[in-house]
Chain A
Amino acid sequence: MAIVNAPETAASTQAARPITAVDWRRTVRMGLLGGLGMVFIAAIGMFEELDGRPMIVPILSLGYLTVFWVPFVAGYLAAKEETLEGLAPPQKGLRDPLAGLVAGLMGGLALWLLTAFMNAFEWRDVFLKLSPTLLELLTFGNDLGFAFLALVLGSGLLGMLGGALAVLPESGRRIVVGAIVTTFVVAILEVIFVDIFEGIGLEAVTDLVYDINGGLAWGSAIVVAILGGTLAAVSAGASERSRTRWTAMEPAPRRTASLAAFVIVALLTIFLPIILGGIVNELLANVGLFLLMGLGLNVVVGYAGLLDLGYVAFFAVGAYTTAVLTSPISPTLLGEDGSVVREEGLLTIDFFGWEGWAVLGAVLLVAAIAGIVVGTPVIRMRGDYLAIVTLGFGEIVRILFLSDWLAPVFGGAQGVRQIPSAGVEALDLVDLTITGVDPRSIFYFVAVFVAIAIYVSWRLSKSRIGRAWAAMREDETVAEAMGIDTVRAKLLAFIIGAMLASFGGMVFAVKVGSVFPKSFELLVSIIVLVVVIVGGMGNIAGVIVGALVLIGVLGGPTQPGVLQEFAEFKLLIYGALLVYMMLQRPEGLVPSLSRSRELHHEEMQQDAWLASAIEEDDDEEASI
């Protein structure tokens, strides 16, 4: 009898949980976090900077969006309760919008306090961005009292809407989120969409959708929102379904399917750029450039587990080798008095003749030597020490290129200019001739090298040396005891990484047409590393996604991305993203199988004592 009753008792205890009470701790925490976020975004100047960019005409600018998404999300998070396994899901009800409202009000209050502070004190000496313009934006051109009402009530309302979102059933929430996200994405990607549609010859569509001064016209915003919501409703569960189908597939059809996917991607890569506009091509070429470096660093960090923070050095070596060999005004070619004596460089980058290949060979050779030179002294170091020393080497290489001592070869701070673009002028595609400076030709140039790098990475991961790297990454001492020559394996990782980076350097030199020491700062190493980490270490698909998301959307250290408006705040977003990924998804966007296992394994085994206790328990049971 008692056994039969047991589940009922459990259920009744759960039902006894109060259903109308707001989780005040959570709400207050979200309110404070939201307030902090809003004040931060306003105080770093994002609000003011982006106010000039209309999103939905005439009601919403990007500046307002960057501030006021915060109370909405804070409200949603305040209302959303964690569902714990084994407990009944929390009841939904009126308390959710209430929690959202409180969180929103708190956020708004924080922002108003900033406003009042700015009104009373002049602190621009310390906080540069607390400008009168910002004050005017925050008070809506009125006095403090009006600002109080507008900010606090406005944020409260948004928080309440966010909280209300948590009440909606899953399907409804999908539609609302889909509509909102689609509208903002379409609004913010205006430049890209215009470029794409112009490329296909459908300017009429974008002319209709976007306001003449930028931003979505409010009418089209509504249409886009409806479309987005419908799309979200229709596609509900689609990705889940396809994933289930994929995992249920037999190996043979799965191979066919991946081959088909590969062919489609390859065809798209070949034909899309012809259709797409110049801006998109330029963006994709930048993505390819960082992808080249990312793939190289992935070999070093992802496969072999060597944290190299001076990776930009090899990029620089590739770029400078190309520059010195191909520029007609390369310092070694100038006359005694510095006059230009030659019309052409030593070699041209012409891959239809032998000279281009000679340049490539020289670049690879020099990079391999650089890999050995940098690699040999640091190879016996492990972990943190390796990272610090490689960081130092990266800076040494940059300073050498900058130095007066080597200026007769590398041009010092002036660098080397007039690097000819790749000799693809002769390239005829269908009836479309591509000239050397056309972004499309650069794109193809990059794409070829990316394809080579992907192929090399893929073969390496399946190879004997790939296995040796994996073993070494896990346990260097044991790998050595198994007979793996760890010094050789590490050096090889350095050399291959250096060669892939030098590809990138060559492409960079040809693409930009000039090289300066300033292009090879530490930041490049860091950004490439972030691309690899955010994408998913040790995984080629991960690096591709990482490059697309970070370089394509946010932009590289000096290269613009899709979100050009945020260029000034790029590094801030990079940092925030990195921290978020480390906390929530350390295996990256597209994790390699073994890597995610590694991380989650460690999570489980964090308490080593407990782990070994469990392990021994198991053993005893097994052997008894």
Chain B
Amino acid sequence: MSENGQPVLEFRGVNTHYGPVHVLKDVDIEIHAGEIVCLLGGNASGKTTTLKTILGMVTPTSGDIVLDGEIVSGAPTSRIVSAGVSMVPENRRLFKRMTVKENLEIGAYLRDPNDDLDADYERIYELFPRVKERLDQKAGTLSGGEQQMVAVGRALMARPKVLLMDEPSMGLAPVLVQQNFDIIETINEAGTTVFVVEQNAKMALSIADRGYVLMTGRIVLADTAEGLLANPEMRTAYLGEVED
């Protein structure tokens, strides 16, 4: 994808702290329109903090988050979401007791009430015809795969410039993981920029354009997906391959 022009979302030397603990250390990330970018890393490497920082749930102590040319770090979550970021949380976390339709409505919570949302619903039904069949069903009664579709649909209702995905493979059966990544590819082909945070490096790199590797809060590797897949260090540390 295009490396030129202004990134949609950019981390510029971001540092964050939880109290005295230094979590993110001088993190630089660039995400360009139309890309799938993945952030890889093990437990406690700072992946979730990265997402929370984008959404304004954690404020960086230094450095800037730039969304579409505008510095958004320090702004409240609601402003950042309406500026064009939305998230599919880890484990989907739908509002299980609400209907599918109500879940989608919450996704559009910050949209201008005068906006015509019908087009957005139609787009989601087109991507996921099964969602349409289940509109009046409680989200908690859906199968895992359908829930994932609703979670993605809910995030898309905000019409994001960048869609954040938190650990789409977490705690799922292999078939479902594959299904999830198929969903990501589908929505990316439909024009959404995606930022995936993932432990399962092999899976993530199979669909991503570029990837970053985060280790104890520092970006240690940044390359195209092919480059990372070929990197010997990656192969042993993250892709679980034994050196031959």
User: Which positions in A face B, CB cutoff 8 Å?
Assistant: 464, 467-468, 470-471, 474-475, 477-485, 594, 597-598, 601, 612, 615-616, 618-620, 622-624
* Residue among A467, A601, A619 with max Cβ neighbours from chain B (10 Å): A619
- CB <8 Å contact, B109 and A470: no
- CB <8 Å contact, A601 and B97: yes
A622 contacts across to B, CB distance below 8 A: 143, 145
Question: With A480-B77, A481-B77 known to touch, is A467 a contact of B102 (CB < 8 Å)?
Answer: yes
B138 contacts across to A, CB distance below 8 A: 597, 601
Q: Which residue of A lies closest to B105 (CB)?
A: A467
CB distance from B197 to the nearest CB of A (A): 13
Q: Which residue of A lies closest to B88 (CB)?
A: A481
B82 contacts across to A, CB distance below 8 A: 483
- CB <8 Å contact, B109 and A464: yes
- CB <8 Å contact, B144 and A616: yes
CB distance from B232 to the nearest CB of A (A): 35
Question: Can you identify 6 A-B contacts, CB atoms within 8 angstroms?
Answer: A471-B95, A478-B93, A483-B77, A483-B110, A616-B173, A623-B145
CB distance from B88 to the nearest CB of A (A): 10
Q: Which 6 pairs from chain A and chain B are nearest by CB?
A: A483-B81, A483-B110, A619-B144, A474-B95, A483-B78, A618-B143
- CB <8 Å contact, A480 and B57: yes
Partner of A616, one of B55, B96, B176: B176
Question: With A471-B98, A471-B106, A474-B98 known to touch, is A481 a contact of B55 (CB < 8 Å)?
Answer: yes
B179 contacts across to A, CB distance below 8 A: 619, 623
CB distance from B130 to the nearest CB of A (A): 9
Question: With A601-B97, A615-B143 known to touch, is A481 a contact of B176 (CB < 8 Å)?
Answer: no
- Taken together as a complex, chains A and B put the C-alpha atoms of A88 and B53 apart, in Å, by 61
CB distance from A535 to the nearest CB of B (A): 19
- Taken together as a complex, chains A and B put the C-alpha atoms of A470 and B109 apart, in Å, by 12
- CB <8 Å contact, A482 and B107: yes
Question: With A478-B95, A483-B78, A483-B82 known to touch, is A619 a contact of B143 (CB < 8 Å)?
Answer: yes
Partner of B78, one of A470, A484, A612: A484
CB distance from B193 to the nearest CB of A (A): 18
The tally of residues in B whose CB lies under 8 Å from a CB in A reads 36
- CB <8 Å contact, B145 and A485: no
- CB <8 Å contact, B89 and A481: yes
Q: Which residue of B lies closest to A487 (CB)?
A: B76
Within 8 A of A (CB), among B45-96: 55, 57, 76-78, 80-82, 86-87, 89, 93, 95-96
- Taken together as a complex, chains A and B put the C-alpha atoms of A467 and B179 apart, in Å, by 30
A485 contacts across to B, CB distance below 8 A: 76-78
CB distance from A462 to the nearest CB of B (A): 12
Q: Which residue of B lies closest to A596 (CB)?
A: B97
Q: Does B140 belong to the interface (CB within 8 Å)?
A: yes
- CB <8 Å contact, A620 and B175: yes
- Taken together as a complex, chains A and B put the C-alpha atoms of A615 and B82 apart, in Å, by 34
Q: Which residue of A lies closest to B157 (CB)?
A: A482
Q: Does B158 belong to the interface (CB within 8 Å)?
A: yes
B105 contacts across to A, CB distance below 8 A: 467
- CB <8 Å contact, A470 and B98: yes
Question: With A471-B106, A483-B78, A485-B78 known to touch, is A601 a contact of B143 (CB < 8 Å)?
Answer: no
If A467-B105, A616-B144, A624-B175 are given as contacts, then 4 extra A-B residue pairs at C-beta distance below 8 Å, sorted by A number, are: A482-B109, A483-B109, A601-B96, A620-B173
- Taken together as a complex, chains A and B put the C-alpha atoms of A616 and B171 apart, in Å, by 10
Q: Does B5 belong to the interface (CB within 8 Å)?
A: no
Q: Does B154 belong to the interface (CB within 8 Å)?
A: yes
- CB <8 Å contact, A597 and B95: no
Q: Does B113 belong to the interface (CB within 8 Å)?
A: yes
B89 contacts across to A, CB distance below 8 A: 477-478, 481
A468 contacts across to B, CB distance below 8 A: 106, 109
